[in-house]
């Protein structure tokens, strides 16, 4: 996440990974972070539990769940997208890409395309605002989760005396503030057949001298906002958001989450895009991008939330990069079940061909689909060297394959093994200096993007 925060120049990034069946927090990160060894600290808080903000459309997950649980949701019923004017005040508008089929959609399609109008109709005309707010309370919003960390914030609901429109737009994540940890806790209910699990970090504390267990925590259910049937139906809808062909032509289906599609695992989740405010006024051009997801869809092993605030370029890409990489590696580590299609279509080994003279981008895309990790070295137009070579032993899935172009540059080696670095140096004919430490690369002496020449000296640190 720190790499992506630097690359996309984000103002803030937050990431959380949890086990939805227990509430255990498996990973949590913030950027900028707090390091007492630094003199230029810019953030003294753990924003995963402290930072409360308007989340945007990730909240639609819980709006739809509430309507389904109350028996007020008909996914095949149609509505007219565009603007909703049934309450006083400014119209509630959809984003401009909701335009196919004359703007007439089913509610299932409205959720898939992230329609604000669809959510407004559900809450105002079918569910009722008071009932909806009761469900938000049942999902744990507006109060602390009780996670074992200091300084947790509660977020904020609109006050009772505000106008109907202000209350209504909470259905798509405006005029309400929530924390990342609240969203994770709420999503455990969807992933865990309706049972919402309290998040916790410390499993047990053991006296290292005596072996005595001083404190041990057990998973704690924080509530059951919805039934198992509702949770399953919401997971199915969340998968439609991600599935590239859930509704026909992937180029025109309008799904907002296709960048999170994974060939090996059934990812389900909801995107969020929220405008930023200062002193109650919109900051033009500044957004918070996020994704709240779970996988595998039919038996979720992980729930994850990633947000990026005000990236200076490439917008949502910072969130996509972090979510996809962490999810793929984590589920592979946990040996989670792959999709049935993947089981039948993906071999366990890949035979290496001769890629010299071919376009590195095209070859990289092909190899990625085969579940390898192609490493393109340089920005040239054709491959001039490769490792492994054609005829070498087949590669196991997820193995690295190096493709060197006619203009080689230094890649980012972070996370590489010693053997990966050694193979890379031999391939581009640079000298690998004696290595410090064991494990995986954390530092490199030649910066990413620097043009390489024969005889360059590379030093790396492993941890």
Catalytic residues: 57
d(C-alpha 253, C-alpha 245), whole Å:
8
d(C-alpha 153, C-alpha 48), whole Å:
10
Degrees, nearest 5: CA angle 398-399-403: 120
d(C-alpha 371, C-alpha 415), whole Å:
18
Question: For the residues of 312-364, what is the DSSP string, one character each?
Answer: SSSTTHHHHHHHHHHHHHHHHHHTPPPPHHHHHH--SEE-----TTS-HHHHH
Cis peptide bond upstream of 177, omega within 30: no
d(C-alpha 372, C-alpha 374), whole Å:
6
Burial tier of 387 (Cβ tally within 10 Å: 0-12, 13-18, 19+): middle
Q: Give the alpha-carbon dihedral of 249, 250, 254, 256, to 10 degrees.
A: 160
**Is 191 in a helix, a strand, or coil?**
helix
User: In this structure, are strands 12-18 and 25-31 parallel, antiparallel, or unpaired?
Assistant: antiparallel
Short-list 264, 322, 323, CA closest to 297: 264
User: In this structure, are strands 383-387 and 83-84 parallel, antiparallel, or unpaired?
Assistant: unpaired
d(C-alpha 9, C-alpha 31), whole Å:
11
- The answer to whether residues 61 and 189 touch, using CB atoms and an 8 Å cutoff, is no
- Stretch (H or E) spanning 274: strand 268-278
d(C-alpha 174, C-alpha 157), whole Å:
10
**Is 286 in a helix, a strand, or coil?**
strand
d(C-alpha 383, C-alpha 142), whole Å:
55
């Amino acid at each position: 996440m720190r790499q992506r925060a630097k690359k996309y120049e984000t103002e803030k990034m937050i990431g959380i990974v949890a086990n939805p069946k227990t509430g255990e927090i498996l990973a949590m990160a913030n950027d900028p972070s707090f390091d007492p060894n630094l003199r230029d600290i810019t953030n003294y808080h753990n924003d995963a539990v402290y930072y409360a903000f308007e989340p945007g459309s990730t909240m639609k997950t819980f709006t739809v769940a509430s309507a389904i649980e109350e028996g007020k949701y008909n996914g095949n019923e149609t509505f007219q997208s565009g603007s909703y004017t049934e309450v006083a005040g400014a119209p509630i508008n959809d984003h401009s890409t909701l335009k196919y089929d004359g703007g007439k959609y089913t509610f299932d399609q409205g959720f898939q395309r992230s329609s604000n109008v669809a959510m407004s109709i559900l809450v105002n005309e079918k569910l009722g605002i008071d009932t909806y707010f009761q469900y938000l309370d049942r999902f744990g919003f507006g109060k602390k989760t009780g996670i074992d960390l200091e300084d947790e914030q509660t977020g904020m609901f609109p006050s009772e005396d505000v106008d109907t429109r202000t209350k209504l737009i909470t259905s798509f994540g405006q005029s309400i503030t929530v924390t990342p940890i609240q969203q994770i806790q709420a999503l455990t209910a969807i992933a865990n057949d309706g049972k919402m699990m309290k998040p916790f970090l410390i499993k047990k504390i053991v006296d290292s001298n005596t072996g005595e267990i001083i404190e041990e925590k057990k998973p704690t259910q924080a509530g059951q906002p919805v039934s198992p049937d509702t949770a399953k139906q919401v997971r199915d809808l969340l998968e439609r958001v991600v599935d590239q062909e859930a509704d026909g032509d992937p180029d025109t289906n309008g799904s907002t989450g296709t960048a999170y599609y994974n060939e090996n695992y059934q990812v389900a989740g909801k995107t969020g895009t929220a405008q930023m405010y200062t002193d109650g006024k919109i900051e033009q051009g500044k957004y918070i991008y996020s994704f709240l997801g779970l996988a595998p869809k039919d038996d979720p092993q992980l729930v994850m939330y990633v947000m990026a605030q005000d990236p200076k370029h490439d917008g949502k890409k910072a969130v996509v990069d972090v979510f996809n990489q962490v999810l793929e590696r984590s589920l592979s580590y946990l040996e989670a079940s792959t999709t049935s299609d993947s089981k039948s279509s993906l071999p366990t080994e890949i035979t290496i061909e001769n890629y010299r003279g071919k376009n590195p981008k095209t070859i990289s895309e092909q190899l990625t689909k085969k579940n390898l990790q192609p490493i393109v070295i340089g920005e040239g137009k054709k491959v001039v060297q490769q490792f492994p070579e054609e005829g070498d032993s087949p590669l196991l899935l997820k193995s690295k394959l190096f493709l060197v172009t006619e203009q080689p540059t230094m890649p980012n080696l972070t996370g590489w093994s010693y053997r990966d670095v050694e193979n890379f140096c031999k391939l581009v004919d640079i000298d690998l200096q004696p290595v410090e430490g064991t494990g995986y690369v954390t530092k490199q002496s030649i910066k990413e993007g620097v043009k390489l020449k024969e005889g360059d000296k590379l030093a790396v640190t492993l941890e």
